Amino acid sequence: MQTLLIVSHPDIIDSGSQQYFLNAIKNEENITIHHLEEQYPDEKIDIAKEQQLLSKHDRIIFQFPFYWYSATPLLKKWQDEVLGEGFGYGTRKKPLDGKEFGLVMMIGVAEREYQAGGEELFTISELTKPFQAMANKLGMTYLRPLSIFQFFYLEEEQKMDYLIQYWQMLMMDKEKSLANREKWLIDQLEKTQNTSAAPNTLRFAIDQIQTNRDKMDELKMVLDDMFLD
Amino acid sequence: MNENEWILEQLNQALQTTDDYYERTLIKACQDMLTEQAKRIDQMEGEMEGTIWSPKRWSE
């Protein structure tokens, strides 16, 4: 699966959260990082090139700081121009049909405020409706978003938890079942094993994850049989 | 100590000797995964036990 990560941030060098996540995918072969402000400092978007880039990828992700409940100005301009008439709408062809679409948002306010009774009043799902509608119109599957709240207040372990979710958002199957997450983690551990300082420990851990999976499958079979009786 | 607990302990030691941040992140994810699996297995075993001892079966 090829993922196109469209990043928009007017001051990306000074953004600690953007740097933290982007550095963690620098060497991933199946992810194309496409930073709009860097690509188009004069904001003149090459529409044909962008449309071609979209068609080459299976999963399209927008990554941006959540400004006034929406994306950055350049990302909105990109949407207006690249997904314009003849490509995004007004044509029988649906060039993005069947692809996946998702959002990665860096949000400055605490998560608890995004609900009825919170200071922001509305949930992230409500506030991101225009993106959901866009995916729907284009025939794309809308993925669960990754909302990263108040990055700078996070403890190191919490940052790591977000990083795992970020990698999964960009590389893993969209179904986040335990079995899929096990499979994904085993793949990552196997890749890391070659350069690890503790390769045997990683091997044991991989085997144990697999043993646990076999046990769960067995238990599931027994339970299914019991309920059939 | 069961195998799961032993491996969690080994992973703890690996966390202390590994400098690479991304490997440390994966090691932490691995610990979380093993803990989540152990909990799921416990729940399934509990469900099985509960089903075996269900009063519905006492008349059989």
Residue A26 sits in the same domain as residue A129 = yes
Cα–Cα distance, A224 to A222 (Å, whole number)? 6
Residue A47 sits in the same domain as residue A77 = yes
User: Residue A204: which of B10, B20, B40 has the nearest Cβ?
Assistant: B10
Q: How is residue A132 written in tokens?
A: 């959901």
Q: How is residue A88 written in tokens?
A: 């995004």
**Does the pLDDT value for residue B58 go beyond 90?**
no
Residue A167 sits in the same domain as residue A183 = no
3-state secondary structure labels for all residues of chain B? CCHHHHHHHHHHHHHHHCCCHHHHHHHHHHHHHHHHHHHHHHHHHHHHHHHHCCHHHCCC
Tokens 């008439």 belong to: A85
ipTM value for the complex: 0.92
Per-residue tens of pLDDT for chain A, all 229 residues: 999 999 999 999 999 999 999 999 998 999 999 999 999 999 999 999 999 999 999 999 999 999 999 999 999 999 999 999 888 888 888 899 999 999 999 999 999 999 999 999 999 999 999 999 999 999 999 999 999 999 999 999 999 999 999 999 999 999 999 999 999 999 999 999 988 989 999 999 999 999 999 999 999 999 888 876 5
User: Residue A205: which of B17, B30, B36 has the nearest Cβ?
Assistant: B30
Cα–Cα distance, A163 to A167 (Å, whole number)? 6
Domain count for chain A, please give it: 2
Residue A113 sits in the same domain as residue A54 = yes
Residue A198 sits in the same domain as residue A113 = no
Residue A164 sits in the same domain as residue A180 = no
**Does the pLDDT value for residue B57 go beyond 90?**
no
Is residue A229 a contact partner of residue B51, using CB atoms and an 8 Å limit?
A: no
Residue A110 sits in the same domain as residue A160 = yes
Numbered residues of chain A with Cβ closer than 8 Å to any chain B Cβ: 24, 157, 160-161, 163-164, 178, 181-182, 185, 188-189, 192, 195-198, 201-202, 204-205, 208-209, 211-213, 215-216, 219-220, 222-223, 226-227
Cα–Cα distance, A112 to A115 (Å, whole number)? 7
Q: Any idea what the CATH number is for the domain that residue A87 is in?
A: 3.40.50.360
Domain boundaries, position A225: 176-229
Residue A170 sits in the same domain as residue A223 = no
Residue A94 sits in the same domain as residue A152 = yes
